[in-house]
Chains A and B, each alone.
Chain A
Amino acid sequence: MEERVDTFPRCLLHHAKVRPGHPAVREKDLGIWQTWTWGEVAAEVRALACGLAAEGFKRGMHLAINGDNRPRLYWSMAAAQALGGIPVPMYQDAPAADITYVLNDAEIAFAVVEDQEQVDKMQEAQPQVATLSHIYYDDPRGLRNYRNVTSFDRLQEIGREFDRAHPGFYEAEIAKGSPDDVAIMLYTSGTTGRPKGVCQAHSALISAAQGGIAFDHLTADESILSYLPMAWVGDNLFSYAQAMVAGFTINCPESGDTVMTDLREIGPTYYFAPPRVFENLLTQVMIRMEDAGAIKRALFHRFMKVAKACGAEVLDGQPVPLSDRLQYWLGNVLVYAPLRNVLGMSRIRVAYTAGAAIGPDLFRFYRSIGVNLKQLYGSTETCAYVCLQPDRGVKFDTVGLPAPGVEVKIGESGEVLVKGPMLLKEYYKRPDATAESIDAEGYFHTGDAGLFDAGGQLKIIDRAKDVGKLADGAMFAPNYIENKLKFFPHIKEAVAFGHGRGMVCAFINIDVGSVGNWAERRGLAYSGYTDLAQKAEVYGLIRECVEQVNAELATEGELAESQIHRFLILHKELDPDDDELTRTRKVRRGFVAEKYGVLVDAMYGGLASQHIETLVRFEDGRTNMVAADLRIEDARTLAAQPLKAA
């Protein structure tokens, strides 16, 4: 009889049989990397699943999971699936109020969480969540005197007893599972309105995982660092679905702050990160290079020039003159290889970025030093699997070719429509939303505006609903402008306004690490973010960036009208805790426009400064008022230039 490997619990059993001694999970604990093999993971999950069953967890129930990427939390996902339940991973930094909504929406009764912090949040939410009855924790620290919570170890003990008393129960539960069952429910980040639960079936995730594995020739020998929020579809596809299908190793970092070190120690072969992670890494490298000795600095700049000139071509296997090739070889020995090593990227075969636009310079930098960084396109509803860039077909402004098994077309309004086995089953309890996003022909409406380029690769311009018009009718794509601004290392966030207005204005958030370092090197004293942001010198620095963006926009046809006329630097960093960003750090433009309405009015009213007071919420929930007088400055704009012939 052929073994069916069509649900995640069956994948787990399969690997435990085929490669029982192969490392499945590593975690750095007390300074040492601990390893669990597939055989051991299968036993852990079995004990856990039996424990949950003994405690009353039933087929079809939801299991809340909240915490950093810990092996035991991944095992909890597998355990819930083994019983026909549905794991619901949550954003670990969300405050109790946000969690309450999800707990109620998903009617959570059982929750497995990481530590005291998460237990506190669950217990805070409990009075408003009638269903929540069982809370389990991984790390016992500080929880000694808590009531009504159970440790993970105890749960597994209960499970082992239950397993002995009910032989064959676990196997029977797995046998009951069907590939069409919902495997996981992920909540959308909610740029608009309340988050919706996206139900993904085993078959959808497994087909997306198989497609990606075949596309990039992944094997069981890959090693990946699992450090992105478990509630994000990207982590789910790469750290869970693909690992479960291919049987490769996932590595859990020691803590959120040690990711850089852990990355270096593990040296993953396969890597996935949103652009901001690549950006932070590069910023750190650049800051350290500025502080390095003169010889090192000269070497670095000398060979980065070489890399810029021919690095990407060498990686793509394109013809490169022999002299360049020799210089690149020397640069590789002296600079690029050591640099890749510092970044923890020595062993990387394939790296992906997605989730937001990546700056061309940033993208080229990694490719030019020999890191095979590519882009992909997808969303929670499509298992992060719609388009992938093939090796040797990488462009910075596209997101790649339709992935194997996926159909992509552009709708009449310019919206990207997709169809394939990886589509969501439904939005939880929201048939209206499901019907709205999947049309009669089975195409999912992504809500992104895009087009295909000459090579057949998809290019995403903006969110379809965000594309607006200026007062004179010219197209206004705020994301496009904001991304251009954010490509500068000094600018962390930007919010562009212009829909229905005569001109474009922008809010800027400076990157306090990068601008702070810049200020230090100039001997510019400052007391904190608010103070630094309002320095005349900093305004000068940012004005240069804005004017450079204007110069680029001036050459882009219709978008020339979108040049930024006025800007200001905000007195506080936009933050998800203040609802200004989503948990995945996307700007909630409408909310920001409303909250800072006085500032928008001041910009359009031609004022040179404006006083503002804002309530700031700290991570522990306390609030504080921040007041400042913000300068508003003008930026030079250029006359529109004719489109350059390509």
Chain B
Amino acid sequence: MTEIFGIPLPALLGQLLLGLVNGSFYAMLSLGLAVIFGMLNIINFAHGALYMMGAFFAWMGLEYLGLNYWFMLGLAPLAVGLIGIVIERTMLQWLYKLDHLYGLLLTFGITLVIEGIFRSVYGVSGQPYQVPDALQGATNLGFMILPNYRAWVVVASLIVCFAVWALIEKTSLGAKLRAGTENPKLVQAFGINVPAMVTLTYAGGVALAAFAGVLAAPILQVSALMGSNLIIVVFAVVVIGGMGSILGSILTGLGLGIVEGLTKVFYPEASNTVVFVVMAIVLLVRPAGLFGKEK
């Protein structure tokens, strides 16, 4: 059997794949955070809670309504997006003129409320969610066994990430969005409805988080606390990548997932903390972040 640094190749590749899976979650969440921050000037702490909500909606859809995975993959982001619209219209919109920190505090409060609701109903233990039939099993690639579902997660999130990138960079809607990020007053003067755009940006960002949540449901246990641990890592990812560039967010997310996967192979004790260590190093070497612009 082929070995690299004393680690059998299939084990190494398996962890690498797992890292890529985590990395795609980081990529999708940090992408949403970056887009929201660009438009709203708010760091959405509730992103983790809304990701958890997406996963829970997938589980609830199957449990209560008998709707399968594929339905919920579309339905859960839609539902969470609607909740996002409500959150933005009723609460966030009052904060745009204030210091950034109030946005963080408010969304932190929202996180506690959402988590509290799911905890009081379902407790803290995880709910199992079956991998959909079409993606069960694994494919033997010769040099490794590839679990189909994990491969699907990586492919699906890559497609979604690049679709978002194309939407923002290559369409006229995206151009308006970028212009709105740069100078909202001027864009409004051209007759574009900026407040509606802001609302839709928030809805889109959290829908992306919910999509990640549905993808995660069969891999991780669906539990009320699954979002809060993730969001802190994603914050570190955002600090490392900087929020200036869309492609930068995607690459940083995937890259850190891989780094985490490799750490699990070579030094498992540090696998929880490696992203934070990378963050500390980046802060020392390049404080603005890998893809950020020095202000």
Bound pair (A, B): no
Chain A residues proximal to chain B, CB less than 8 Å: none
Chain B residues proximal to chain A, CB less than 8 Å: none
